Amino acid sequence: MAKRLVVIGGTAAGLSAASKAKRNMPELEIEVYEKSGYVSYGACGLPYFVGNLIHEPEDLVSLTADQLRTKRGIPTYIHHEVTAIDRVAKIVTVSNLDTGDRFERPYDALVIATGAVPVLPPIPGIHAEGVHCLRTVESGIALKARVQCGAKKAVVIGGGFIGLEVAEELALSGVQVTLLEGEKRLLTFLNEEYAAEVERTLSAGGVSVHTGCPAKEIILQSGRAAGVLGADGCVYDADLVLVAVGVRPCADLARAAGLALGYKGGIVVDEHLQTSDPSIWACGDCVQMRNLITGEPCYVPLGTTANKQGRIAGGNLTGEDGCFRGVLASQVTKVFDLYIASTGLSMEQARSAGFDPACTAITKGDRASYYPGGGDNHLYLVFDRHTGRLLGAQGIGTASVAGRINVLVAAITSGMTVSQLNELDLVYAPPVAPVYDPILIAASQAL
Ligand code: FAD
């Protein structure tokens, strides 16, 4: 059994692993190394910090490094980067980024939870001053400072969740926002109709959306970003540019240590989150994942997964036998007053996975028609034409759409057909749901 645990990365996955291991084995000596200046923070709240709905960076933090040491008994070091792993000697090399000191620490068990890094499109000017990414608290502070220093115009490159959330927050802060998306629609996992509704909502909120328009160049003035040239030949002026075209696993350390890497360069782990080295576990955005429906490798970097995987890795390295079987890519967000949620496969994904999929879409009020308030839920189901097995679901509308997609997550996970979905004994009361829930309406239409 391990006596000394070293954890690399001090946020969702790393600290979930450290906390679980400490709870299971209080005598375990643990050290957590984090290269940024913050640990245990909610990156998911960063767009709302930029929009000043959340005022201070500290508000995003659950436990500081000091609190982790004193309250949880987990010595945690910020501004400390692990620069090498010697798997034979079971030693990591750590660099103190404040002092420049380097030192070595032994481990019996090692958890790699190094997360992900933003992808930067290889276009001229991408490294210029005024071009931002949003990933760490520091990057949020820099972006917010730019907004608060009076940025008037912003270009957001990328129409995924993060790009949309930040576009919304910048627009609400009074910044004139242009959003450039290279694909033909925003949130490409959504069906065309729902993606178009998201685009309409953004436009109504003052965001100028250009789809099918990848950024070609960052236009510079005196060395700093002053605009973005789109593939349509237009230059969109900007005091600040946010690049949000996705992330990739931060796995350089693992690669250098000779660990097996897989899909998109994520660290290969088994169901127990053990890497190709039995003394090393890896979890969160740095690992390759497995799609629960297709069984194929995938990469879906989400906080939900990182927390769960961290907890399982921490349990397993103290002798448990936990499994993480895979992901459905269940996600939710909102832009202005439109809530968007999805899980499982889209039609395109289902087709390329070898299914013969069919789909159905319905619109239904989210409570009894005579009860004041509420609004519509638009639900879209993807299912196998021959077996009726549910493969995916998307929803847009009021906040209640998230709960409905969660029901559909359970249905997909348990392998339900649309016929079984149609038989579900779902709740009803006028202020909460209509007597025939939107899920039942969608399921019956799919029969
Ligand atoms: P990270 O959070 O990336 O943490 C890894 C840490 O390791 C980093 O702090 C890094 O500095 C550190 N590190 C890396 N290399 C080293 C090294 N060599 N030495 C020491 N330290 C190192 N997910 C959701 O589920 N829902 C959401 O609504 C949502 N919204 C998001 C909004 C934004 C703006 C962002 C950026 C992400 C969002 N996510 C969301 C994704 C979620 O935040 C991530 O999936 C989650 O943070 C991953 O956790 P992690 O611990 O694997 O990696």
Nearest to 121 by CA among 47, 218, 188, 233: 218
Q: Is 284 in the pocket of ligand 1 (CB under 6 A)?
A: yes
Name the pLDDT band for 106 (thresholds 50, 70, 90). Answer: very high
Please name the residue whose Cα sits nearest to atom 46 of ligand 1. 303
CA separation for the pair 432, 377 (Å, rounded): 13
Mutate to test the pocket of ligand 1, among 6, 32, 35, 111 (most ligand atoms within 8 A of CB): 35
Q: Is 158 in the pocket of ligand 1 (CB under 6 A)?
A: no
Bridge pairing between strands 153-157 and 240-243: parallel
Is residue 126 within 8 Å of 20, Cβ to Cβ? no
Mean pLDDT of all residues in 246-251: 98
**Which DSSP symbol is given to 40?**
S
**Predicted pLDDT at 394:** 98
Q: Is 329 in the pocket of ligand 1 (CB under 6 A)?
A: no
Q: Is 157 in the pocket of ligand 1 (CB under 6 A)?
A: no
Share of the chain above pLDDT 70, in %: 100
Nearest to 48 by CA among 345, 398, 333, 353: 333
Please state, rounded to an integer, the average pLDDT across all residues of the chain: 97
Which H or E element spans position 166? helix 161-172
The rounded Å distance from CA 251 to ligand 1 centre is 13
Which H or E element spans position 393? strand 390-397
Reduce the DSSP state of residue 292 to 3 states and report it: coil
The rounded Å distance from CA 105 to ligand 1 centre is 24
Mutate to test the pocket of ligand 1, among 20, 48, 114 (most ligand atoms within 8 A of CB): 114
AA identity, residue 439: I
The rounded Å distance from CA 408 to ligand 1 centre is 27
CA separation for the pair 281, 283 (Å, rounded): 7
pLDDT digits (tens, 9 = 90+) for 77-97: 999 999 999 999 999 999 999
Q: Is 115 in the pocket of ligand 1 (CB under 6 A)?
A: yes
Q: Is 162 in the pocket of ligand 1 (CB under 6 A)?
A: yes
What is the residue whose two structure tokens read 């250009």?
A: 210
Share of the chain above pLDDT 90, in %: 99
CA separation for the pair 33, 78 (Å, rounded): 6
pLDDT digits (tens, 9 = 90+) for 330-361: 999 999 999 999 999 999 999 999 999 999 99
pLDDT digits (tens, 9 = 90+) for 262-298: 999 999 999 999 999 999 999 999 999 999 999 999 9
pLDDT digits (tens, 9 = 90+) for 358-408: 999 999 999 999 999 999 999 999 999 999 999 999 999 999 999 999 999
Looking at 250-391, list the stretches that DSSP marks H as alpha helix, in order from N- to C-terminal side: 252-256, 303-316, 347-352
Reduce the DSSP state of residue 146 to 3 states and report it: helix
CA separation for the pair 174, 220 (Å, rounded): 23
Nearest to 362 by CA among 437, 425, 276: 437
CA separation for the pair 283, 271 (Å, rounded): 11
Reduce the DSSP state of residue 294 to 3 states and report it: coil
Mean pLDDT of all residues in 125-143: 97
The catalytically annotated residue of 44, 213, 286, 298 is 44
**Predicted pLDDT at 4:** 97
pLDDT digits (tens, 9 = 90+) for 295-327: 999 999 999 999 999 999 999 999 999 999 999
Residues forming a β-bridge with 102: 95
Is the pLDDT at 238 greater than 80? The verdict is yes
Looking at 295-346, list the stretches that DSSP marks H as alpha helix, in order from N- to C-terminal side: 303-316
Q: What would the two tokens of residue 396 be?
A: 């847009």
Mutate to test the pocket of ligand 1, among 6, 7, 8, 11 (most ligand atoms within 8 A of CB): 11
Please spell the DSSP secondary structure of 190-227, one letter per residue: S-HHHHHHHHHHHHHTTEEEESS--EEEEEEETTEEEE
Nearest to 281 by CA among 294, 271, 292: 271
What is the ipTM metric for this complex? Answer: 0.99
Please name the residue whose Cα sits nearest to atom 38 of ligand 1. 44
Please name the residue whose Cα sits nearest to atom 49 of ligand 1. 12
Is the pLDDT at 2 greater than 80? The verdict is no
Bridge pairing between strands 390-397 and 376-384: antiparallel
Q: Is 285 in the pocket of ligand 1 (CB under 6 A)?
A: yes
Please name the residue whose Cα sits nearest to atom 32 of ligand 1. 44
Is residue 405 within 8 Å of 348, Cβ to Cβ? no
Is residue 220 within 8 Å of 376, Cβ to Cβ? no
Q: Is 261 in the pocket of ligand 1 (CB under 6 A)?
A: no
CA separation for the pair 49, 56 (Å, rounded): 7
Residues forming a β-bridge with 85: 92
Is the pLDDT at 259 greater than 80? The verdict is yes
Nearest to 338 by CA among 391, 392, 377, 298: 377
Q: Is 33 in the pocket of ligand 1 (CB under 6 A)?
A: yes
AA identity, residue 373: G
Q: How many CB atoms lie within 10 A of CB 61?
A: 17
Active-site residue 149, yes or no?
no
